Amino acid sequence: MRAIRRFIVQPVLPEPLKPLSRLATNLRWSWNLDTRALFGDIDPALWEEVDHDPFKLLARTPSDRLDILAHDKRFLRRLELTVADLDEYLTGDLWFQKWAKEHPEAPRTIGYFSAEFGITKVLPQYSGGLGILAGDHLKAASDNGVPIIGVGLFYRHGYFRQSLNASGWQQERYPVLDANEMPVTQLRDGDDPVLIPVQIFGNEVKAQVWVVQVGRVPLLMLDTDIDANPGPMREITDQLYGGDAEHRLVQEVLLGVGGMRALREYCRVSGHAVPEVYHANEGHAGFLGLERIREYMETGDDFDTALERTRAGNVFTTHTPVPAGIDRFPIDRVRDQFSGFGPLPIDRVLDLGRETYQGGDPGIYNMAVLGFRAGQRANGVSELHGEVSREMFHGLWPGFAAAEVPIGSVTNGVHHLTWIHPELLNLMQPVVGDSGPQIHDGCDWTALNRVGDQTLWSAKRHMRTAMIEMARKRLHASCRSRGISSDWVDDALDPNVLTFGFARRGASYKRLTLMLSDPERLKRLLNDPATPIQIVIAGKAHPADNVGKGLIQQMVQFADQEDVRGKIVFLPDYDISLARPLYPGCDVWMNNPLRPLEACGTSGMKAALNGAANLSVRDGWWDEWYDPRFGWEIPSAEGISDPTARDAQEAESLYDIIENEIVPKFYNRDSHGLPTAWLKMMRDTVQILGPKILASRMVSDYVEKLYTPAAVSSRQVEGQAAADLAAWKRKVRAAWPKVQVRRVESSLSDRVAMGAEVPFAAWVDLDGLNAEDVGVQVVLGQVDADDWLHDLEIVPMTLDGTNERGISHFSATVKAKDPGSWGWTVRAVPKNPLLAGDVEMGLAAVAPGE
Ligand SMILES: *Cc1c(COP(=O)(O)O)cnc(C)c1O
């Protein structure tokens, strides 16, 4: 018989144990070893059974066991200490508090919007890298004391769970998540649940809000699955990335518009400081910009003024150079949704996201474009990705060089306390009383230098063994569900063998099956009697991506062959619980995307923190921080346009490096059986690379480069200033077509001695604008054969005077610093201290060519 309703019996903890529920509802337990150990000791067997979920543990611990603990003095003492530690963590002065003392302009609060958050497996509200990154962002913000509030959606089915059928084809399951069994609380105003209203295609939808505490950081998640909504509206938050474009659009309206409203309600009810900065993590959250404009217009601003205020505080991060990865909606559907959205003129709303540039489609509403136009500051997620994004979105700022496009970069990082294996983390604990520049984020990054080779190598062996235990458990389950024999599983993988990891989404640019290009060569590597390798693979393909599923199947069928079985294994259902033991268990982390399509990639960082070397195409972060001390680069054959030939060449390099460099280095042992060169690489990777690839570094970069400037800009456009700025922009836009650099003057000869002061001058028609509104600049650079300028240097010119016909004379001198072939031109750009840069308005008047 099926139940028609469910109810939850809440555990009643004996009075002395009550603080346990506080520990369980703050997700800091997920990265705090002491808290986890405390939960583990409540009932070790049950702790394993509930898969390290404190909430479930407390719900299921038998009451006689609880009674014993309630009288166990040592346990109670530990509990007290753990709670005191949490309190100190929640209230103490951390990095941000110190930083803000020296930078009083720092933001009071930041709203951080993301379609997915991957924090712990008990809250499966993520699909892959983007979500894990957002989770790590919140955790590191918490550890650093950065005042952030996260905003997302609560998906009733989360993302799908993956299994395989007998032939290796991906199967998807969508288990129902019950908020009552999760460490979340409903946002309430007194006794009443707070319900967020949002008009979606004419329907009045309401969303309840779940709040989860991520250390110091609250995360709000909107959920439309409530009785008050008609059936179809309850399905809005059914699953992450589940539906068609229309469904995505609806979810994004809820996230952006509803998310802003939930944030307002949360601040009102809790008394939390209201954000000054709003960060859209990828385009999914872009509609928050429209809601902010609406808020300002409701208080009397016109559209342009409201837009200036919104832009000042909005930060947009783009996460993909793959065009198909960017949300693009039919513009008519956006018109249907946002017509009558408060006082916003619909045409202006549509113009914000319309692809009105060369190569764009004006019938499309592009969420990345909206992000750039509704925010003054934007970034990519690695240096290379910043560069690629500047090229990709160059059309939004025509008239400027791609290098000047105002998209910067903050390289992603990972939350080390989540991702470093506990045994290694313990080795990196600072010695008491020790302090120095190498100690930050609670770790001593040079600690491994004090650890002997033997200790380090045995720690790595434990990490490999733990991973193998996890893998065998999953392989057993997988064989059972596939209906195939598992008699080989107990011997699968070997803790002494050189172990490669390769786990990623099934997206085709990631080239899951590149390593299968020459199956016989791979088999020789796997089966070498003296120096074998083994490979652990995982990854989900999007349910609608049959190509990706085909690649997984190809991989699984390869691994099913008897001569390699147990040496190359595919572990289904890649998620945080699989990932956490996987990275530490690997010696080499492999990544072979089609360069430059991997925006950053973070799995290699997680592996590196555990002493694994990277073997990767120099894409994303590995382009920036590759160093032979930390691993190997697979040469990218970007010059070859035939994809098959390119794959073949890159695959060959991959095999060559493994065979000629990696295998000998790993198996070359000293008289104690230790791979000294390998251990050196492990130490270098953790010690030198470790501190750079941290989420705490990333979050402080955001605070310094983006959040604080955005907070400053926000305050600068308070009051009348926003309207003045909007009026000034209108004036400049209207005059601009006639602003002209009429003539340049130079006494420059073809050859100039290094160190000489070179004079430049130009006559400019400002067409009624004055020299305060317009910056006139010499633009210098190295020239190539086609006269294109590179490595630009911009030198402002000063006004000398204006002639009787209203033409102004500007001049500057520049020191000829470097030898080589130089070129120059003169241009005029709008100038205003409230602009984030010369390029912001996309307007430039460049001197006519000869
Ligand atoms: C880190 C991680 C990812 C992202 O890895 P990429 O290298 O960015 O592809 C995806 N899924 C899980 C479970 C992860 O832990």
Report the C-alpha gap between 111 and 13 in whole angstroms.
35
DSSP annotation string for 421-474: -HHHHHHTSPPTT--STTEETTEETTGGGGS-HHHHHHHHHHHHHHHHHHHHHH
Q: Do 765 and 659 share a structural domain? A: no
- CA of 434 relative to ligand 1 center, distance in Å: 34
Q: How far away, in angstroms, is 127 Cα from ligand 1 center?
A: 9
Q: Please check whether residue 107 is in contact with residue 277, taking contact to mean a CB–CB distance below 8 angstroms.
A: yes
Q: How far is the CA of 43 from the centre of ligand 1 (A)?
A: 31
Closest ligand 1 atom number to CA of residue 591: 7
- For residue 750, pLDDT over 90 is answered with no
- 283 and 385 housed in the same domain: yes
pLDDT of 457 reads: 98
Confirm or reject: Cβ of 381 under 6 Å from ligand 1. Answer: no
pLDDT at 336: 98
Same domain? For 429 and 394 the reply is no
**129 in the same domain as 65:** no
In the chain, the percentage of residues whose pLDDT exceeds 90 is 87
| Same domain (yes/no): 53, 135 | no
Confirm if 368 and 388 have CB atoms less than 8 A apart: no
Structural domain including 825 reads 735-846
Over residues 425-441, the pLDDT tens digits come to 999 988 766 666 566 78
% helix, strand, coil for the chain, step of 5:
45, 20, 35
Write out the two tokens for 310. Answer: 């919104």
Give the per-residue pLDDT at 242. 87
CA-CA distance, 492 to 511, in Å (whole number)? Answer: 25
**Residue 93 reports pLDDT greater than 90:** yes
Structural domain includes residue 701: no
First-last CA distance in the chain: 87
Task: Say how many Å lie between the CA of residue 418 and the centre of ligand 1.
Answer: 13
For residue range 521-533, what is the model confidence (pLDDT) as tens digits? Answer: 999 999 999 999 9
Are residues 740 and 823 part of one domain? yes
Asked if residue 760 and residue 687 are part of one domain, the reply reads: no
Domain count across the chain: 4
Between the CA of 84 and the centroid of ligand 1 the distance, in Å, is 34
**To test ligand 1's pocket by mutation, which of 502, 591, 603 has the most ligand atoms within 8 angstroms of CB?**
603
Q: Look at residues 683, 716, 749 and tell me which one is the last residue of a structural domain.
A: 716
pLDDT (0 to 100) of residue 784: 87
pLDDT of residue 441: 82
1 in a domain, yes or no? no
Is 100 part of any domain?
A: no
515 shares a domain with 406: no
Over residues 176-208, the pLDDT tens digits come to 999 988 999 999 999 999 999 999 999 999 999
Question: Is residue 602 a part of any domain in this protein?
Answer: yes
More confident: 650 or 820: 650
Q: How far is the CA of 162 from the centre of ligand 1 (A)?
A: 15
Looking at the predicted structure, is the pLDDT value of residue 476 above 90?
Answer: yes
Identify residue 111 by its one-letter amino acid code. G
| Closest protein CA for atom 11 of ligand 1 | 128
**Interatomic CA distance for residues 761 and 753, integer angstroms:** 20
pLDDT higher than threshold 90 for residue 6: no
- Asked if residue 501 has its Cβ within 6 Å of ligand 1, the reply is no
Are both 479 and 406 inside the same structural domain? no
Q: Report pLDDT digits (tens) over 777-814.
A: 999 998 888 888 888 999 999 999 999 999 999 999 99
Record the tokens describing residue 633, joined without a space: 């680069």
Burial of residue 83 (number of CB atoms within 10 Å: 0-12, 13-18, 19+): middle
Taking CA atoms only, the protein residue closest to ligand 1 atom 13 is 575
Residue 509 lies in a domain: yes
Instruction: Let me know if residue 474 belongs to a domain.
Output: yes
| 700 domain-assigned | no
CATH code of residue 529: 3.40.50.2000
Question: What value does the mean pLDDT of the chain take?
Answer: 95
pLDDT tens string 760-771? 999 999 988 988
Residue 699: pLDDT over 70: yes
Structure tokens at 745: 């003057």
Pick from 212, 168, 180, 166: nearest CA to 59: 180
Helices (H) and strands (E) in the chain, counts: 31, 34
Mean pLDDT of the 258-264 span: 98
To the question of pTM greater than 0.85 for the whole model, the response is yes
How large a percentage of the chain has pLDDT more than 70?
Answer: 98
What is the per-residue pLDDT for 349? 98
Same domain (yes/no): 594, 637: yes
Task: Specify whether the CB–CB gap between 281 and 707 falls below 8 A.
Answer: no
Structure tokens at 819: 């030898």
Tell me how far the alpha carbon of residue 378 lies from the centroid of ligand 1, in angstroms: 23
pLDDT of 429 reads 86
Q: For a substitution probing ligand 1, which of 132, 578, 597 has the most ligand atoms within 8 Å of its CB?
A: 132
Question: Do 521 and 409 have their domain in common?
Answer: no
Is 78 in the same domain as 117?
no
Place of tokens 């909005």: 314
- Domain annotation covers residue 185: yes
**CA 761 to each of CA 348, 735, 754, 823: distance values in angstroms, whole numbers, following the listed order:** 40, 23, 20, 15
